[in-house]
């Protein structure tokens, strides 16, 4: 099936960004934040393992596609 809406969907990140792993869509920009700020964020994250979920992203807990408004985007 061909795409009825041929749109170029390539993404070229700014020169100051680099992709962490090929085709991961995870980019980094070195030296954007002060090192002590990053260390504090890591410390806070590691201090609460009960709030960490393997493989979780920034989606609200219990979110699934079409589960309920306002998280239904399609």
The pLDDT of residue 73: 46
- pLDDT tens digits, residue range 31-62? 888 999 989 999 998 999 888 877 666 666 66
C-alpha span between 45 and 61 (Å, rounded): 17
**pTM score of the predicted model:** 0.43
First to last CA, the chain: 21
Which helix (H) or strand (E) covers residue 18, if one does?
strand 18-19
Which alpha helices (DSSP H) does the chain contain, by range? Answer: 35-46
Query: Taking the domains of the chain in order of start, what are their residue ranges?
Result: 11-39
Residue 12: pLDDT band with limits 50, 70, 90: confident
In the block, residue with structure tokens 């090929």: 22
């Amino acid at each position: 099936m061909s795409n009825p809406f041929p749109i170029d969907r390539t993404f070229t990140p700014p020169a100051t960004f680099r992709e962490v792993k090929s085709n991961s869509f995870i980019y980094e920009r070195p030296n954007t934040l002060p090192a002590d700020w990053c260390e504090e964020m890591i410390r806070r994250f590691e201090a609460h393992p009960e709030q960490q979920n393997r493989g979780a992203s920034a989606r609200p807990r219990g979110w699934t596609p079409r589960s309920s408004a306002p998280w239904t985007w399609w």
